[in-house]
Structure 1
Amino acid sequence: MATVLAAGRRHSVACRDDGTAVAAGNDRAGECDVLAWSGLVAVAAANVHSARNTGRSHTIGLRADGTVIATGWDRDGQTNVSDWSEIAAVAAGWRTTLGLRTDGSTVAVGRTAEGQCDVNTWREVVSIACGDWHSVAVRSDGRALATGNNQRGQASIGGWRNLVGVSAGYMHTVGLRDGGTVVATGENGWSQCDVAQWSCATAVAAGSYHTVALREDGRVCAVGDNRFGQCDVQAWTGVTAIAAGSTHTLGLLLDGTIVAAGNNDDKQCDVSTWRLHRG
């Protein structure tokens, strides 16, 4: 499923069904400059941790023809994606952009200091995600791949099996199994990895210190840091997609509208007027 909804450090972005994009939140690096984009099928927003000295971010758009567009912070060349082609999915981390090619191989640009861009040998990949300093993927056989910083064990996922999806937070990684159960590893200071009891999940999303899952009944559950109310999603119903930013959470409803919870200091939760379905 294409990622039509994304949440970054201090901004939110979405892809409408007519291929255009909309964004809200902090635009200090141009990460919200997406109104001229067209032909999109997916978006990604760089999600960095919530330290006060962070904030600049970047946004990635995947076009229907397999090419990629980017805007925002480019300190390490993380927006240098104009020559990419035959891309099926995109992911954005702190100073890193990851692309999944249609042949199952992967490509990355951006910061390399922690090894998060060392993905050129990956093959048979079906799902990708970027954290702050690590990159992860799921192969077609349900096994996991990871590279980059492993300070909190966030890249120790080689033993995971039967995966269909994956998401990466600041220093934790979350995996979705084919039976709807969820697994997580890494930093757990806010209980963001306490997902062992979850079931019937169809999607997962990792923020800086919180984890969110979409259930098959359209409801949403969350664990972890809730200082900004980013885990206050239990009342949501009819949700079809989710995204977790640094300190906010987004949900796409059946009618194409968006709900949001969490930090709104930069207006990243001002999404109530968005309509992704344009008849």
Structure 2
Amino acid sequence: MGDLIAAGPRHSLGISADGTVVGAGAGSSGECRTTDWADVVDVAAGNVHTAPNTGRSHSVGLRSDGTVVATGWNNEGQCEVSDWQDVTAVAAGWRRTLGLRADGTVLAAGRLAEGAGDVSTWRKIVALACGDWHSVGLRADGAVVAVGNDRRGQCSVGGWSDMTAIAAGYLHTVGQTSAGRVLAVGDRTGGACDVEAWSDVVAVAAGSYHTVAVTTDGRALAVGGNAAGQCEVADWRDIVAVAAGSRHTLGLRADGSVVATGSDEHGQCDVAGWPPIGVG
């Protein structure tokens, strides 16, 4: 199963039980124009760390037939994915979209300047993550690869092994091990990499400056930047998945309802009225 919820700089996305996609938040770039999408099984939201109020973002959806749809900001071709086929997962970063194919190779569309789209040589990939300026891939053997901007060491994942999940923020990367521990590399000044004490983790997500996780008992954990309250998840229960945007966090409950915390300047946390997400 793909990601049922996604969080961008000032918008949120969720896949309802019938495969349509609901959105919340500003849509000045068209990133919430998803009402005509159908049979979607995975969703991703582009991110922009520097100025979330400018709204320039995009949204990507993977259909059950392996094709991909995209909407929103397309200044560097990040939405030009209509010819993609045999895709099994999607990820979205700043001006960039990645698609994982069934054969373990990876497609890229959009910005190439920082090298985050240099994924043509990747093989045996089973999961993807996009930071703003770097891309991360999880291999079938549990190793991790990364390309793009590495000025804070966010691509220093060469020694990682036994990983089952990955996530990428602005200047940091996190990985979940099969034992439920979490590793992090990159900028440590804001606390987003302070995950060493976490255990029994079953899912992770990375926002621009914060990191979120789900534990085996359905609790949510969060560390890092909390200027807008995006890390205030301690009272969440029955959580099965999380998504992290620039300054807000989403949590998907087992009953299909979604909770949100953090910046709601543009309505990105207005998810209470959503239909059940991923629950048939």
Fold in common (TM above 0.5): yes
**After the TM superposition, which residues 103-114 of structure 1 pair with which residues of structure 2 at under 5 Å, given as runs?**
103-114=103-114
Q: Which moved more, 1:242-251 or 1:182-191?
A: 182-191
Identity between Structure 1 and Structure 2 (%): 56
Q: Tell me the equivalent position of 1:61.
A: 61
Residue number in structure 2 paired with 1:200 = 200
Match runs of 1:121-200 below 5 Å? 121-200=121-200
Q: Distance in 1 between matches of 2:141 and 2:211?
A: 25
Aligned length: 279
Corresponding residue of 1:47: 47
How far apart are 1:51 and its partner, in Å?
A: 3.0
Could you tell me which residue of structure 2 aligns to residue 2 of structure 1? 2
Contact 1:255 1:277 in 2 (8 A): no
Q: Partners of 1:26 and 1:172 in 2: how far apart?
A: 26
Q: How does 1:243-258 map to 2 (within 5 A)?
A: 243-258=243-258
Superposed CA deviations along residues 130-174 of structure 1, whole A, max 9, x for unmatched, are: 011000011000001000000111011111111111001011101
TM-score by length of 2: 0.97
Structure 1, residues 180-214: CA drift from partner, whole Å, max 9, x if none? 00000111221100001101001100001000001
Q: Deviations over 1:10-53 (max 9, x none)?
A: 10001112110000111010000001110111100012204367
Q: Does 1:217 align with 2:206?
A: no
Query: Equivalences for 1:227-246 in 2 at 5 Å?
Result: 227-246=227-246
Question: Are 2:4 and 2:278, in contact at CA under 8 Å, matched by a contact in 1?
Answer: no
CA distance in 1, matches of 2:261, 2:274: 15
Tell me the distance in 2 between the aligned counterparts of 1:54 and 1:28. 9
TM-score w.r.t. length of structure 1 = 0.98
For 1:278 and 1:120, the matched residues in 2 are separated by 35
What RMSD in Å do the two structures reach over aligned CA positions?
1.1
Is 2:93 the partner of 1:80? no
Residues 1:5 and 1:70: Cα distance change in structure 2 (over 3 Å): same
What secondary structure does 2:41 align onto? strand
Cα contact 1:60–1:90 (8 A) shared by 2 = yes
**C-alpha distance in 1, partners of 2:156/2:50?**
23
Contact 1:9 1:57 in 2 (8 A): yes
Where does structure 2 lack aligned partners over 5 or more consecutive residues? none
In the alignment, the residues of structure 2 paired with residue 236 and residue 132 of structure 1 have an alpha-carbon distance, to the nearest angstrom, of 27
Question: 2 CA distance for matches of 1:166 and 1:36?
Answer: 30
1:277 Cα deviation (Å)?
5.0
